[in-house]
Amino acid sequence: MKRTRRKELEDLSAYLDEESTIAPDVLQSMLRDDAELSTRHAQWAKISQAMRTMPETEVHPAFRTRTMAAIREIEPAPKTLPWRWPALGGAVLAACALAVVYLSNSSAPSLSNEPAPDMADASAVETVLTARLDASTNYISELELEYGVDVWEVDDSALEKDPTMDLVPPESVSELSELLALFESAVTDDQEVGAIVDSVDAPTALELRSLMLAYADEELYL
């Protein structure tokens, strides 16, 4: 079966990194028979060689002095934070319970002809999302309390423009929903998450960023 060009290039690249799973003689014959591939391989190899032999940037001794001075001022976090998980777990459970209640209400046949309350316009996803946002916001505040500092640096330029913003506007909920889905399925795909963060309005972006960092922190340290 003929291999696609993309596969050939990937194998060739892996071959340069000594990570190829293809037999070397197969790759050698590919290079012999395909002049374009051979040129590309030679250019890749040249670039690779130049990059691998780039001298490391010299580090000024002041860097370590500064870093160690900053480190001496902090205490390492304890191994476990027993209060944090129940709090977070409780918030998630509450959100799930809300969703179940809401779903069962919205799917049950109505016994009266009264119009549904306004709340019914919102989807169950939005309800869960709102609850999760609250939970996350609390969680972030708890982290800040725990460390006594901002665990992450919040981009406050948006706040300067609109000091009244402190709530996520309802129209942003679907964007948040999309982002949270991304967190759960591919939390580390930052490029994708970044694209969404860049596409939403400033208040939403702030919320998203906080959520993202909370998730990233968990991913890294647990």
Partner 1 sequence: MRSVTDWELIEQAKSGQIDAFDHLVRRYEAPTINFCLRMVGRREDAEELAQETFVRVYRHLNRLEPRAKFSTVLFGIARNLSLNHIRNQKRRGRDMTTSLSNQEGDEMPVLDDSQRPDQAAHIDELRELIEKALAMLNTDHREVLVLREMQGLDYSAIGEIIGCRPGTVKSRIARAREQLRLRVLELGGDVL
Which residue, 99 or 216, is less far from partner 1 as judged by CB?
216
Residues of this chain that interact with partner 1 (CB under 8 A) are: 6, 9-10, 12-14, 16-17, 19, 40, 43-44, 46-48, 50-59, 63-64, 66-68, 70-72, 74, 76-80, 147, 152-153, 155, 157, 186-191, 194, 197-198, 205, 209, 213, 216, 219-222
- Considering the complex, what minimum distance in angstroms separates the CB of residue 143 from partner 1? 11
Which residue, 41 or 132, is less far from partner 1 as judged by CB?
41
- Considering the complex, what minimum distance in angstroms separates the CB of residue 204 from partner 1? 13
Which residue, 9 or 92, is less far from partner 1 as judged by CB?
9
- Considering the complex, what minimum distance in angstroms separates the CB of residue 103 from partner 1? 32
The Cα–Cα gap between 10 and 37 comes to 11
The Cα–Cα gap between 47 and 51 comes to 6
- Considering the complex, what minimum distance in angstroms separates the CB of residue 159 from partner 1? 13
Instruction: Give the alpha-carbon dihedral of 189, 191, 193, 199, to 10 degrees.
Output: -170
Output the six-digit token pair for 10.
């990937």
Which residue, 21 or 112, is less far from partner 1 as judged by CB?
21
- Considering the complex, what minimum distance in angstroms separates the CB of residue 177 from partner 1? 20
Which residue, 32 or 66, is less far from partner 1 as judged by CB?
66
